[in-house]
Structure 1
Amino acid sequence: MISAPRPARPVRPGRVRVDCHLHTVASGDSVMTLDQLAERVAALRIDVVCVTDHNHLAGGAEELSRAVGARVVPGEEIRTGSGELIGLFLTERVPYVLPAEQVVERVRGQGGIVCAPHPYDPHRFGAGARLDAMCAAGMIDAVEVFNAKTPDHEHNLAALRTARAYGLPGTVGSDAHDPAGVGAAYLEMPDFDGPASFLAALHEAEPYGEYRPHALRYGFP
Structure 2
Amino acid sequence: MTETALKVRIDLHVHTRHSHDSAAPVDSVLRRCQDSGLGMVAITDHDNIRGGLEARERAAGFPVIVGEEIKSAKGDIIGLFLEEPVPSRLSPQETARRVKDQGGLVGVPHPFDRVRPTAMGLRAIEEILPWVDFLEGYNAHTFLSMDNRRGVEFAGAHALPVVACSDSHSALELGRTFTEVPADELNGTPEGLMRAIRRGACVGRRPNPWLMLTPAYAKLCKLVA
Is the 8 Å Cα contact of residues 172 and 185 (structure 1) preserved in structure 2? Answer: yes
Find out whether 1:152 has 2:144 as its counterpart. yes
Alignment counterpart, residue 22 of structure 1, candidates 14, 36, 48: 14
Residue matched to 1:203: 198
Residue matched to 2:223: none
Q: CA deviation at 1:59?
A: 5.8
Measure, in 2, the Cα distance between the counterparts of 1:42 and 1:196.
Answer: 24
Residue matched to 2:24: 32
Measure, in 1, the Cα distance between the counterparts of 2:101 and 2:152.
Answer: 27
Is the 8 Å Cα contact of residues 37 and 68 (structure 1) preserved in structure 2? Answer: no
Farther-moved stretch of structure 1 (177-186 vs 152-161) = 177-186
Residues 30-78 of structure 1 show CA distances to partners (whole Å, capped at 9, x for unaligned) of: 01111111221121121101100000002666x6234234211110000
Specify the code of the residue in structure 2 equivalent to 1:56: N
Task: Return 5+ residue gaps in structure 1 as ranges.
Answer: 1-11
Is the 8 Å Cα contact of residues 45 and 52 (structure 2) preserved in structure 1? Answer: no
SS for the counterpart of 1:134 is helix
Residues 128-166 of structure 1 show CA distances to partners (whole Å, capped at 9, x for unaligned) of: 12255235x402111010001112111100000011110
Q: CA deviation at 1:96?
A: 0.4
Structure in which a larger fraction of residues adopt helix: 2
SS for the counterpart of 2:97 is helix
Aligned residues: 208
Residues 164-184 of structure 1 show CA distances to partners (whole Å, capped at 9, x for unaligned) of: 110001121100101111122
Residue matched to 1:161: 153
SS for the counterpart of 1:219 is helix
Farther-moved stretch of structure 1 (63-72 vs 190-199) = 63-72
SS for the counterpart of 1:25 is coil
SS for the counterpart of 2:38 is coil
Is the 8 Å Cα contact of residues 42 and 52 (structure 2) preserved in structure 1? Answer: no
Measure, in 2, the Cα distance between the counterparts of 1:57 and 1:48.
Answer: 17
SS for the counterpart of 1:85 is strand
SS for the counterpart of 2:141 is coil
Specify the code of the residue in structure 2 equivalent to 1:207: C
- 4+ residue segments displaced more than 4 Å: none
Specify the code of the residue in structure 1 equivalent to 2:126: A
Find out whether 1:139 has 2:131 as its counterpart. yes
Is the 8 Å Cα contact of residues 17 and 51 (structure 2) preserved in structure 1? Answer: no
Higher relative contact order (CA 8 A, sep 6+): 1
Farther-moved stretch of structure 1 (52-61 vs 120-129) = 52-61
TM-score of the superposed pair, with normalisation by structure 1: 0.87
Measure, in 1, the Cα distance between the counterparts of 2:125 and 2:55.
Answer: 34
Q: Residue 89 and residue 157 in structure 1: after superposition, are their counterparts in 2 closer, same or farther (change >3 A)? A: same
